[in-house]
């Protein structure tokens, strides 16, 4: 069991590092090629690359509340690491584990920006609905959050969801297989 948890921890660290690295790389590309430039149209009147420095949360909400955004991501990540490490075993829970990794990577990817520069680099703009400019880390968090909600409503049984820490019973209250 300890060996399985160690392997699971290694998978979490490697996956999150890879996703964070991809996020940071895309932000570096945005700074190098988009900062100070006009928007680059990828799909006319639909999708643009547009450099924005975001001092708020995802999609620009809560601008200027830096302290919250410096404290909250590591706390949320720590909780999700606990959930991930205490998730019931088996293939059925791979999607929930992937969601934990996605949210952790997204939160920490933007957290790194806030610590280093005081803002997050956003650069993807979806024009048809005038959607706020976002980045790859925002995609990780948003897609993972929607997917975990979908899984909890339509995929996992109540008994399975009860085995996921913080959703049912007490944290860590799962049956060992």
Q: Which residue ranges in the chain fall short of pLDDT 50?
A: 169-177
Catalytic residue among 45, 113, 122, 130: 122
Residue 8 is predicted with a pLDDT of 92
Residue 55 is predicted with a pLDDT of 83
Residue 3 is predicted with a pLDDT of 81
CB of 85 within 8 A of CB of 79? no
Residue 167, helix vs strand vs coil: coil
Residue 56 is predicted with a pLDDT of 73
Mention every residue, 6+ apart, whose C-beta is less than 8 A from residue 30. Answer: 49, 51, 121, 123, 135
Active site residue 45: no
Catalytic residue among 45, 130, 138, 173: 138
Element (H, E) at 122: strand 120-126
Active site residue 23: no
pTM for the structure as a whole: 0.87
């Amino acid at each position: 069991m300890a060996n399985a948890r160690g392997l699971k921890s290694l998978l979490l660290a490697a996956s999150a590092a890879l996703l964070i690295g991809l996020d940071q790389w895309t932000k570096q590309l945005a700074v190098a090629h988009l900062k100070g430039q006009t928007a680059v149209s990828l799909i006319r009147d639909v999708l643009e690359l547009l450099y924005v420095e975001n001092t708020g949360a995802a999609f620009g909400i809560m601008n200027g509340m830096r302290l919250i955004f410096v404290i909250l991501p590591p706390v949320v990540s720590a909780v999700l690491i606990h959930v991930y490490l205490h998730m019931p075993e088996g293939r059925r829970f791979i999607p929930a584990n992937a969601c934990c990794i996605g949210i952790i990577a997204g939160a920490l990817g933007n957290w790194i920006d806030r610590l280093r520069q005081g803002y997050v680099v956003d650069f993807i703009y979806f024009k048809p609905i005038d959607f706020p400019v976002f980045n790859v880390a925002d995609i990780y968090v948003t897609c993972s959050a929607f997917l975990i909600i979908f899984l909890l409503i339509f995929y996992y049984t109540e008994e399975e969801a009860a085995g996921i820490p913080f959703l049912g019973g007490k944290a860590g209250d799962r049956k060992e297989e």
